[in-house]
Amino acid sequence: KAGVTQTPRYLIKTRGQQVTLSCSPISGHRSVSWYQQTPGQGLQFLFEYFSETQRNKGNFPGRFSGRQFSNSRSEMNVSTLELGDSALYLCASSWGQGTYEQYFGPGTRLTVT
């Protein structure tokens, strides 16, 4: 069974632009969560989607948004990029809500200049 895939793997954007990251979960998994990883803040939860609905949201500004499609694929969008948004963005999938095992993708490395 294929693992979680994320595209693109690397991205360079300019401050003020917007970006969309994509995540395809493991086949059969219906829940997708997003995390931001930075050297200073570590791993922080962004949001969780299940059956196309956002079920859970972390403490991030409204510039961070996401959605989930009927095939469970998910996208996250960051508008008006700031230098501090430079990070590794990790997507994790699990079979269902409240299911305790999350499987992570390789991440998207976003650099904002």
Partner 1 sequence: AQTVTQSQPEMSVQEAETVTLSCTYDTSESDYYLFWYKQPPSRQMILVIRQEAYKQQNATENRFSVNFQKAAKSFSLKISDSQLGDAAMYFCAYRQPHTGANSKLTFGKGITLSVRP
Among all chains, which residue has been given the structure tokens 């997708």? 32
User: Which pairing describes strands 87-94 and 31-38: parallel, antiparallel, or unpaired?
Assistant: antiparallel
According to DSSP, the residues that pair with 39 across neighbouring strands are none
Q: Give residue 93's Cα distance to chain centre.
A: 10
Nearer to partner 1, 78 or 92 (CB): 92
- Compute the least distance from the CB of residue 17 to partner 1, in Å: 23
Q: List the one residue out of 80, 90, 94 whose CA is nearest residue 45.
A: 90
Binding status of residue 103 toward partner 1 by CB under 8 A = yes
Nearer to partner 1, 3 or 16 (CB): 3
Binding status of residue 104 toward partner 1 by CB under 8 A = yes
Nearer to partner 1, 58 or 79 (CB): 58
Please give the residues from 40 up to 99 whose contact with partner 1 meets the rule CB under 8 A.
42-43, 45, 48, 55-56, 58, 88, 90, 92, 97-98
The 10 Å Cβ neighbour count of residue 92 is 21
- Compute the least distance from the CB of residue 43 to partner 1, in Å: 4
- 89 residue type, one letter: Y
Half-sphere exposure of 80 (CA within 13 A, CB side): 3
Contacting positions for partner 1 (CB under 8 A):
33, 35, 42-43, 45, 48, 55-56, 58, 88, 90, 92, 97-98, 100-107, 109
